[in-house]
Amino acid sequence: YMFFFSASQLEPRAEFWISNGLPEKTGRLNDLFPEIESGFRNQHPIFCADDTGAYFLHPDAMQVMRLWRYNPGEEHLRPLAEVPGLVGEMVLFGDRLIFPMFEPGLGIELWTYDPAVGEIQLVKDLWAGNDSSNPEHLFPWKDGVYFRADSMSDGIELWRTDGTERGTLRVIDINPHALSSGAYGFVPAGDYLFFRAYHNDYGDELWATKGEIGKMPVVFDVFPGSQSSHPYSMAAIGSYL
């Protein structure tokens, strides 16, 4: 296994480091940006890694924001696609990189990088036009990436995507009539994905879904009625939460 991070030995220069948890196996990779005097310039990159390597965002020598890839055993990073907007969190689903990004005229929407295509593409404009759906709390689980997003008709609700427009669907409108459930805090346990969400009749409570589109998740009304139990610090032990 590998652990990726940015660190600095001489301010303000930060560089790309790798570790397997042992001091003797922790070190800086090659000077990835020798032509840029200040390395990461104290702008720590957004990383996304799996067992095969790491993606991260950083300007190139011309100060163009770009997506980069590191593969273990290679001496240098590989520059990939130019990134036209501001990116938030990134997650991997299969070979696809999925992330929210701001683009003028679209707002903050869901985008993807598919290595087979070699460019960054819009997944779906969930709130059409200039308004932002603000997808966040991205969580890969089973057959998709679960997240919450806003839309004019449904408010902030639970969505799922496989990185394609056709495969991006609202799971369910938990708190109906343009009111928001604000689903977040995803924790898988057994066959369910647990999370907390708000409903007018139950308050802020614990919910669970199997990911079935259009099927209302199970609610655990810890504090009966419209009062809220505000569940937090959730952790899975085997199939139990």
- pLDDT tens profile 74-131: 777 788 999 988 888 899 999 999 999 999 999 999 999 999 999 999 999 999 989 9
- pLDDT band of residue 63 (cuts 50, 70, 90) is confident
Residue 71 exposure: Cα atoms within 13 Å on the Cβ side: 4
Return the pLDDT at 121: 96
> Is there a contact between 130 and 152 (Cβ–Cβ < 8 Å)?
no
- pLDDT band of residue 58 (cuts 50, 70, 90) is confident
pTM passes above 0.85: yes
Of all residues in the chain, the percent with pLDDT exceeding 70 is 90
pLDDT tens digits, one per residue of 139-196: 999 999 999 999 888 899 999 999 999 999 999 999 988 789 999 999 999 999 999 9
Q: How far apart are CA 224 and CA 218, in angstroms?
A: 14
Return the pLDDT at 45: 65
Contact partners, residue 226, CB within 8 Å, separation at least 6:
200, 201, 202, 203
Contact partners, residue 129, CB within 8 Å, separation at least 6:
106, 107
User: How many beta carbons lie within 10 A of that of residue 81, not counting itself?
Assistant: 17
Return the pLDDT at 141: 97
Q: How far apart are CA 94 and CA 67, in angstroms?
A: 17
Distance of CA 41 to the CA centre of its chain: 24
Question: Residue holding tokens 């969190």?
Answer: 89
Contact partners, residue 74, CB within 8 Å, separation at least 6:
none
pLDDT tens digits, one per residue of 195-235: 999 999 999 999 999 999 999 999 899 999 999 999 989 99
Of all residues in the chain, the percent with pLDDT exceeding 90 is 58
Return the pLDDT at 42: 43
